[in-house]
Amino acid sequence: MVTSTHLLWLLAVACLVPRAQSLAPQGFEEEEEEDETLRTRSSSVPCDYDHCRHLQVPCRELQRAGPSACLCSGLSSPDQPPDPPRLGEVRMVAEEGRAVVHWCAPFSPVHEYWLLLWEGRGAPQKGVPFNSTVRKAELKALQPGGAYVVCVVAANEAGESSVPGVEESLEGASFPAFGPCGRLAVPPRPQTLVHAAVGVGTALALLSCSALVWHFCLRDRWGCPRREAARAAAGL
């Protein structure tokens, strides 16, 4: 009886040991899958990239510089010209005749930017090129009271972005919303307004004085009608 009991116990142990050994690799595989999931989640964090930030480091460089690879927003093919940038805020400094133009990068590979400036219907003035990290530039020598059209152009090895609607806008039409172009109206200088106000006031004062002098001269020459009528009535 004891011998049969020992045999049954040995058989039970022999059956359980392979199962325990087979469970160990499965546990390791589950841990490895969890680690891969964590790595995937950490790599799905977007990069600290702002399309409108001045001196923004390219997203590809942010991926290489970080401890873990982050995600960049989708870009168009480098074999195609870039999409047009989006014109942002234009801050005027009328006293100095200049303006600071801001823009946002397109979802395309860009190597450089430049500005185009129209004054009237003539050919545009092309500004100096800026590298792909620049998001603002300065326009100088703007005339007080002048009206301009400014556009931002992006370029890469495949070509440059388009400036849609410029010809129609020069004729008076409005620009598309969130496009690369916009109108720029330079206000007159405050000193010019003061001088104009002084000139208008002086002209009005001279006209008033001239009217009074002319009135009194005519009255002395031709006499006052009421006074002449009173004298005639008194003589009667």
Beta bridge partners of 155: 112, 160
* pTM as predicted: 0.64
Residue 138 within a domain? yes
Sign, Cα dihedral of 160, 166, 168, 171: negative
In tens digits, the chain (236 residues) has pLDDT values of 445 666 666 665 555 544 444 434 455 455 556 545 434 544 578 899 999 999 999 988 988 887 778 888 888 899 999 999 999 999 999 889 999 999 999 999 999 999 999 998 889 999 999 999 999 999 999 999 999 999 999 999 999 999 987 877 777 778 888 999 999 999 887 655 555 666 777 878 778 777 777 666 666 656 555 555 555 555 55
In the three-class reduction of DSSP (H, G, I as helix; E, B as strand; rest coil), residue 135 is classed as coil
Residue 136 within a domain? yes
Beta bridge partners of 86: 104
Residue 233 within a domain? no
Q: Which residues contact 221 (CB under 8 A, 6 or more apart)?
A: none
Q: Taking a C-beta distance cutoff of 8 angstroms, is the pair 47, 63 a contact?
A: yes
Residue 12 within a domain? no
Report how far residue 136's alpha carbon sits from residue 118's, in angstroms, rounded to the nearest whole number: 18
Residue 173 within a domain? yes
Sign, Cα dihedral of 63, 65, 69, 70: negative
Residue 220: alpha-carbon gap to chain centroid: 70
Alpha helices per DSSP H over the chain: 2-43, 59-65, 166-170, 190-222, 225-235
- Percent of the chain whose predicted confidence (pLDDT) is above 90: 41
Residue 57 within a domain? no
Of 185, 122, 183, the C-alpha closest to 151 is 183
**Token pair recorded at residue 85:** 């940038």
Q: Taking a C-beta distance cutoff of 8 angstroms, is the pair 113, 153 a contact?
A: yes
Report how far residue 63's alpha carbon sits from residue 75's, in angstroms, rounded to the nearest whole number: 15
Structure confidence at residue 227 (pLDDT): 54
**CATH number where 162 lies:** 2.60.40.10
Structure confidence at residue 167 (pLDDT): 78
Q: Taking a C-beta distance cutoff of 8 angstroms, is the pair 39, 45 a contact?
A: no
Q: Taking a C-beta distance cutoff of 8 angstroms, is the pair 135, 100 a contact?
A: no
Report pLDDT digits (tens) over 47-73.
999 999 999 999 889 888 877 788 888
Report how far residue 137's alpha carbon sits from residue 112's, in angstroms, rounded to the nearest whole number: 13
What residues make up the domain containing 170? 86-185
Report pLDDT digits (tens) over 165-193.
787 777 777 888 899 999 999 988 765 55
Residue 153 within a domain? yes
Structure confidence at residue 70 (pLDDT): 87
Please give the tally of structural domains in the chain.
Answer: 1
Residue 22 within a domain? no
